[in-house]
Structure 1
Amino acid sequence: MKHFISMQQLSKETMNQILKEAELIRTSPRTINKQLFAANLFFEPSTRTKISFEVAQKKLGLDVLDLHKEGSSLIKGESLYDTAKTFEAIGADFLIVRHPSDYWMEDIEKEGELNIPVINAGSGKEEHPTQCMLDVLTMYQEFGSVEGRKIVIAGDIVHSRVAKSNAHALEKLGAEVYFSAAPGFEDYSLKYPYITMDEAVEIADAVMLLRIQHERHVFKTETDDYLSLYGLTMERAAKMQKHAIILHPAPINRGVEIDTRLVESKQSRIFKQMENGVYVRMAILIHVLKEWGIIHENEINERKMLNII
C-alpha cells in the first residue's frame, strides 16, 4: 500500500488487521522508539479528525508539524504538491492531508512523486477512510463483526465522503448497506438501496446519521421540518431494535438530523466513535509506517504509564 487514500484500496484482511491493532492499542498503549515528524496539512475546518490525529501522534511519541492555510504559501499561489514536497524536503516522515478537492491526491500525482506516505484525512465529497475505520471499529466492539448486519446510512448522502467510504468498506466486510435520504440528497451513482427512516429504524442494527453539509450546497437547504420528515426522532428511535445502536461522524446538528435527547442516549455510540478515533489513527499510522519500512516491529514499544500515588 503506497498511500492510505481510499477504502476501496484496502482488502478485508488489511481492514481486519488495522482493527485488531486498534483494539490492542486501546488496552495496551504503544509508542514508537524513533524520532519521526508528522505533518498535518488541514485545508478545511476540523475538530475531531485533526485533534484525534494530534493525540494519536503524541501518544505514539511523534513530533507534530502543523500547517494552517492562512499562514502558508498556499495563499501566494503555491500548489498542494509543492507544499507537500516542502514538508518532505525539510524532514517530515509522513503527511496527513485534508482538502476540499475531491481528488487532491490525483492532483499531487500529476505534478510529481512524493517519497513519504500520505494519509487521507478527508477529500471533498469522496472519501474519509480513517473516519470509516473508527466507525467500523465501533460496530465491531458492539457486534463482534458486521457480517450480515444491516447498516443504514441516513442523511446528505450525495455530499458525504463518510457515506461513500463506509458503504464500500461495510459491503466488503459482509454487511447489508442501506441509504436513507431526503429528496435531492441521494447519490444514485452508488448501488445501495434507499429506504425511508421509518423503515430504517425497524430493520437496522446500526443507524449512522449524517448532517446536511450546507457548505457544499449550491443553494441553502431549509431544515425546519427535516427532523420530523427525515431525521431520527424520539418516536422513530423507540421502534429501533433493543440491540441497535446510533452512530454519527459529527459535527452534529442537534434537532435537525437527530433529536438532541438521543445524542447521549443508551443506544448512542457517538462519543465512543470519537474515542475510537485516536486508537484507529494510531493503528493506521503504525500500519503505514511499517508498510513503508520507516519503522520496524522492534521500534514499537508498550507505552509506560506513570504510577501516580
Structure 2
Amino acid sequence: MKKHLLSAGDLTRDDAVRVLDTAAELLGVAQRPIKKLPTLRGRTVVNLFFEDSTRTRISFEAAAKRLSADVINFSAKGSSVSKGESLKDTALTLQAMGADAVVIRHHFSGAPHRLAAAGWTNGAVVNAGDGTHEHPTQALLDAFTMRSHLMPDGGTGNDLQGKNVTIVGDVLHSRVARSNALLLHTLGANVTLVAPPTLLPVGVDAWPVETSYDLDDSLEKADAVMMLRVQRERMNASFFPTEREYSRRYGLDTTRMNRLPDHAIVLHPGPMNRGMEITADVADSGRSVIVEQVTNGVAVRMAVLYLLVGGATNEEEGS
C-alpha cells in the first residue's frame, strides 16, 4: 500500500483485498475478553476532526486503542481553529507532538490531500471524509460487509467479481457513493447509481457505473442495496418537490425490499433518516446489515492503521 489512504481510487485490487483479509483476521479481537493487541504500542494516532461525526470518530478511536496506540482526539470546536488557526499550523503542532498517523475529517474537499502533499506531517494521513469528495474507509467496510455475506466462506482472498450493487439516493452530496463506486469497480462489482436527476453529479457519466432514475427497475437483479442519507445540511436549493415524494419514489420500504433476491442485503452508511430513504421495518429487518457495518468498521480501520503505521514499518525492520 501507499503511505497514505486518501482515495478509494488509490487502492489496487491487491491492496483492497489485503485490507479486507487483514480486517477479517482482526475481527475476532472484538470477541476476545481483552480486546487489545500490542501492534501499535508506542505509536500516536491523532483523530483530527473539523466536522461533526459520531460513528467514524469513535470507530477510528476504538480501532487505534485496540491496537494499543496512544490516541489524541482533536475537535475543531473548542480549539484554536475557532480563533483562526490554519490547517497548516494545526498539523505542524501535531507533528511536533510526534503523530505517527493523522486521521482527518474536513468540510473542505481535498483537505486530506493537501495535508499529505504539503509535508506538514511525516505520519500517514487517512481520509475520514472530506466535503462531498470521498470516504475510503467507509467504502472498505461496506465491501467487507458485502463480501462476508455474498462470497463463499466469507470471501477471504476473494473480491466481489460479478456482484450487482445498487446505491440509491443523494449521490450528489455523498462522499460514500464516490468511494464505493471506485472501490467496488476495482473489486469487480457492477454498480448502479439510482437517484433523481437533480441528485446525480455533473460528470457521473465518467464514473465506472451505470445510472438510473427508477429504483424499482434496479432491485430484482441486485445482490446488495445501499441507501444513502439525504444530506439536507449540504443543500442550498430544492432538489426534489417534497420529502414525501422523495420517499415514494426513492425510499426503500417492505414492498420494495421483497422484490430483492432472497440472498440480497440492505446497507446504509448512517446516520439514517428513518421514514425517508428507508423505513423502520426495513432498517430493523433480517436483511439489514446496518449494525454489522458498524462492527466491521472497527476491524477495517484497525487493518488500515496496522498496514499504514505498523505493517510497513515492521516489514522494513525485519528486512
Aligned to 1:177: 191
Aligned to 1:86: 93
> 2: CA distance between counterparts of 1:223 and 1:76?
38
Alignment of 1:192-271 (within 5 A): 192-195=209-212, 196-219=214-237, 222-271=242-291
> 1: CA distance between counterparts of 2:38 and 2:315?
12
The alpha-carbon distance between structure 1 residues 65 and 184, as it changes in their structure 2 partners (threshold 3 A), is same
Aligned to 2:6: 5
Aligned to 1:96: 103
Alignment root-mean-square deviation, CA: 1.9
The alpha-carbon distance between structure 1 residues 53 and 297, as it changes in their structure 2 partners (threshold 3 A), is farther
State yes or no: 1:75 paired with 2:82: yes
Residue 243 of structure 1: how far off its partner (Å): 0.4
Q: Residue 172 of structure 2 aligns to a residue in which SS?
A: helix
Deviating 4+ runs (over 6 angstroms): none
Residue 263 of structure 1: how far off its partner (Å): 0.5
> 2: CA distance between counterparts of 1:169 and 1:26?
21
The alpha-carbon distance between structure 1 residues 18 and 112, as it changes in their structure 2 partners (threshold 3 A), is closer
Residue 97 of structure 1: how far off its partner (Å): 0.3
Q: Describe the superposition over 1:209-262 as per-residue Cα deviations: whole angstroms up to 9, x where unpaired.
A: 001111111125531222111111211111111000001000000000011111
> 1: CA distance between counterparts of 2:251 and 2:281?
13
Aligned counterpart for 2:309 among listed residues 285, 289, 309: 289
Q: Residue 70 of structure 1 aligns to a residue in which SS?
A: coil
Aligned counterpart for 1:133 among listed residues 120, 123, 140: 140
> 2: CA distance between counterparts of 1:279 and 1:111?
30
Q: Describe the superposition over 1:174-213 as per-residue Cα deviations: whole angstroms up to 9, x where unpaired.
A: 1111000023101241232222110121111000000111
> 2: CA distance between counterparts of 1:40 and 1:150?
34
Q: Residue 194 of structure 1 aligns to a residue in which SS?
A: strand
State yes or no: 1:62 paired with 2:72: no
> 1: CA distance between counterparts of 2:277 and 2:117?
39
> 1: CA distance between counterparts of 2:182 and 2:139?
10
Q: Residue 198 of structure 2 aligns to a residue in which SS?
A: coil
Q: Residue 105 of structure 1 aligns to a residue in which SS?
A: helix
Moved more, 103-112 or 141-150: 103-112
Check the 8 A contact 1:200/1:207 in 2, yes or no: no
> 2: CA distance between counterparts of 1:197 and 1:289?
41
> 2: CA distance between counterparts of 1:226 and 1:82?
43
Unaligned runs of 5+ in 1: 300-309
Q: Residue 266 of structure 2 aligns to a residue in which SS?
A: strand
Residue 86 of structure 1: how far off its partner (Å): 0.8
User: What amino acid maps onto 2:295 in structure 1?
Assistant: E
Q: Residue 122 of structure 1 aligns to a residue in which SS?
A: strand
> 2: CA distance between counterparts of 1:281 and 1:182?
32
TM-score by length of 1: 0.91
> 2: CA distance between counterparts of 1:200 and 1:123?
29
> 2: CA distance between counterparts of 1:109 and 1:44?
18
Aligned to 1:26: 27
> 1: CA distance between counterparts of 2:124 and 2:116?
13
> 1: CA distance between counterparts of 2:53 and 2:47?
12
Aligned to 2:300: 280
Q: Describe the superposition over 1:101-138 as per-residue Cα deviations: whole angstroms up to 9, x where unpaired.
A: 11113433575442111111001111100101000000
